[in-house]
Chain A
């Protein structure tokens, strides 16, 4: 089975690429606690891509991802003094993104709006809400058919906790243990829920499986 080995390669590649050295992060955090704004700026620079990606994969919308990611850093700025280092900074950070995301969803539920990106679940497949466009661009239509778009739409249509787990494990390369810590759940629960989420994703994407022939 090659999915696990490709995941390991991918994790190593990403860590190297993003240079997330924990001891450097710790030093930055200590400097931030001393009130050094320059250190906090470096901290944003270091983690902005990770937080932004996580946020985007959760909501599937650039503007919303921007809001969630920036609100996350504001919360980090406010709460950094309370960060004791019991868990790693990145675990703590992901917990904050998760909370910001869930708070945002709660807020949206209390003030429902019609999103242009809203997912409509039909019996056989999922489609995005179509807004009448007098001049549809062929390039845009083609884009919608792209595999990543389909995947993103399917992820966004999952219930929130399943979505969080899928994104953490598959796009953010978190281990089951890390997800368990971030979501404060037993590992067994994380594994069984993740399995259900994957089965659900497959089911949603089954009618478009021709895009996934690898």
Chain B
């Protein structure tokens, strides 16, 4: 056996896993080669030396250090989700600016339509500028949720209608329920703001459920809402 091959077997020989068939020529080589024999003795000493190295204790505050790191990591992740106000983001600033610009252009184009009064040509060459525009009727009606109120010993269903527009609106109200004296009401042209219509009254001590259906037409579209009121 040559030295290189013998050295490959040093570990197997030390941990006792060497093939018995090889151990004979290996030991013969050791008897003949003082260099390999010395090296093996030294290796064994180092081997035993490492095996008997002392066990160290972790620092007493080790667990506290670990938890501190875990907390710091959690805080860092939480901070990532909050965007600092001073951090400039091209995207976040560019998008609203673009939208604002588009809105301004649209407003400029529609100015004669939505702004009442006479417009004079500013010399921009746009055909609609400078044309006199008549005041157009504006549709703006909001029908609120009816509520049950109490007035003069009777319960009333109140329907708030907020009409700030200048278009006459027909409002139909249909109320179904026990104690309802008047089931259908037609209101012509509610106008102004906060119109309150007392549609019907029921006995205040009566336990009842009222189904209130309001229907009105606005911009050619029929709007309808149904409410369920309990007394």
Residues of A within 8 A of B (CB): 1-4, 6-7, 10, 14, 41, 44-45, 48-49, 51-53, 56-57, 66, 69-71, 73-74, 77-78, 147-148, 151-152, 155, 166, 170-171, 191-192, 194-195, 198-199, 201-202, 205-206, 209, 212-214
Contacts and interface: CB of A to CB of B under 8 A. Distances in A.
A-B pairs, 3 with minimum CB distance: A52-B58, A212-B45, A195-B11
Interface stretch (B59-67, B124-132, B147-155, B199-207): B59-67
B15 interface: yes
B50 A44 contact: no
B181 interface: no
A191 B43 contact: no
Contacts of B59: 52, 66
18 contacts: A1-B14, A3-B14, A4-B15, A6-B48, A41-B67, A52-B58, A52-B62, A66-B59, A74-B66, A74-B69, A74-B70, A147-B49, A148-B53, A171-B50, A201-B50, A202-B43, A213-B45, A214-B49
Main secondary structure of the interface of B (DSSP, over half): helix
B50 A151 contact: yes
B73 A74 contact: yes
Contact of A152 (B7, B15, B43, B53): B53
Contact of A206 (B42, B52, B53): B42
B47 interface: yes
A4 B62 contact: no
Nearest to B10: A195
Contacts, number: 119
B39 interface: yes
A148 B10 CA distance: 23
Contact of B62 (A66, A71, A170): A66
B56 interface: yes
Nearest to B65: A70
Given A3-B15, A66-B62, A209-B42, A170 B50 contact: yes
Interface of B: 7-8, 10-16, 39, 42-59, 62-63, 65-67, 69-70, 73
B6 to A, nearest CB: 11
A170 B43 CA distance: 13
Contact of B47 (A49, A57, A170): A170
B56 A151 contact: no
A198 B46 contact: yes
A10 B59 CA distance: 23
Nearest to B72: A74
Given A1-B16, A4-B16, A199-B10, A70 B66 contact: yes
Given A52-B62, A71-B69, A170 B51 contact: yes
A3 B57 contact: no
